[in-house]
Amino acid sequence: MTALSFEPIRLEQQGDYAQKLAATPLVPSDYSFTNLWGWAEEYDLEWAWSDGLVWIRQQQPFLAYWAPMGDWNAAAWPSLLDGFELGTRFIRVPEKLQANWLAQYSKNLTVNETRGQWDYVYLASDLINLSGNRYHKKKNLVNQFKRKYAHTYLPMNAEMVAKALEMQSSWCIWRDCEADESLAAENRVIERILDRWEALDGLTGGAVLVADQLACYTIAEAMADNQLVIHFEKGDPEFKGSYQAISQLFLAHEAQGDTYVNREQDLGNAGLRKAKMSYHPVDFIRKNEVLLG
């Protein structure tokens, strides 16, 4: 294995990274360029390009490696993994890669399930139509929003980005982000992404205006395998049903019915897990921790 030389994740490299993602058999939401670049400062993320793969390392809040991106089937895993010390911690490792390692690597690997890192996957048609009793409450909230507020849906553009930045600032005051580091970190990432909206490839999004006031918005990213990742959704608490409305309206305007919608992880948060399960995922992208030795 070639010695790894880690460097900061730079915006100028997104095209080269896209080629590596295209060769990767399965790409969870964590590994989109927008996610890596957007969260780089929060996790102190770096990457190294070696042996046909992109190796990713975080240094905060603890040192760990993520799954490498590239053609997993062409990689010589025994020699590559031997390049790491015993006890090295890999996190967010998709089960497909985990199985590859277990099949090829003769030395000891310990796999620890990390349920909080699993991506939730839905059918866009389910989230657009909200059919049946299981979606009854959500459909009611969407319909109430549409009836109560004279609204306009717009795709994300420069004007909507400016409004989203304003709303995000107000949202953070309402939620007291200064008292919650996880919300403060998310706010910094959202601002970073919105500030460079035009420079980030594959980004999409939508916004709903009531009169001239932004009621809700979403930031998403088109990925391979007909997958649409929802990175962020925000609603103004003044408008009842805003979260349900932006989810339904964005997908109805921007997604085909056979699209898979990836709504990312719940991070072990009980409230987030309940909310994500309430939309009835059709599958998960399972990612776990793997320890060498």
Is residue 252 predicted with pLDDT exceeding 90? yes
Whole-number pLDDT of residue 181: 94
* Cβ atoms within 10 Å, residue 259: 20
- CA neighbor of 35 nearest in space, from 183, 209, 223: 223
Mean pLDDT of 139-158: 96
* Cβ atoms within 10 Å, residue 179: 8
- CA neighbor of 206 nearest in space, from 251, 265, 174: 251
- CA neighbor of 56 nearest in space, from 85, 96, 89, 101: 89
Whole-number pLDDT of residue 283: 97
User: Which amino acid belongs to residue 69?
Assistant: M
180: Cβ contacts below 8 Å, ≥ 6 apart: none
Kindly list the structural domains of the chain, giving each domain's residue range(s) and its CATH number in brackets, ordered by start: 7-118 (3.40.630.30), 119-264 (3.40.630.30)
| CA 80 – CA 58 distance, rounded (Å) | 19
pLDDT in tens, 77-116: 999 999 999 999 999 999 999 999 999 998 899 999 999 9
User: The tokens of 156 are what?
Assistant: 């994300």
pLDDT in tens, 190-220: 999 999 999 999 999 999 999 999 999 999 9
Give me the phi and psi of 238, to 5 degrees please: -65, -25
Grouping H, G, I as helix, E, B as strand and the rest as coil, residue 178 is: helix
The alpha carbon of 162 is separated from its chain's Cα centroid by a whole number of angstroms, namely 22
CA-based end-to-end distance of the chain: 18
For the chain, the residue count is 293
pLDDT in tens, 105-144: 988 999 999 999 999 999 999 999 999 999 999 999 999 9
Name the pairing type of β-strands 203-210 and 213-223.
antiparallel
Mean pLDDT of 67-72: 98
pLDDT range class, residue 257, cuts 50, 70, 90: confident
226: Cβ contacts below 8 Å, ≥ 6 apart: 256, 258, 259, 260
Average predicted confidence (pLDDT) for the chain: 96
Q: pTM, whole model, 2 decimals?
A: 0.95
CA angle 52, 111, 20 (to 5 degrees): 20
Cβ atoms of 197 and 161 within 8 Å: the answer is yes
Cβ atoms of 217 and 250 within 8 Å: the answer is no
* Cβ atoms within 10 Å, residue 184: 16
- Give the CA radius of gyration of the chain: 20
| CA 17 – CA 191 distance, rounded (Å) | 23
User: The tokens of 160 are what?
Assistant: 């909507």
277: Cβ contacts below 8 Å, ≥ 6 apart: 120
**Alpha helices (H) along the chain:** 14-23, 33-43, 77-82, 95-104, 124-129, 136-148, 158-175, 181-195, 242-254, 270-277
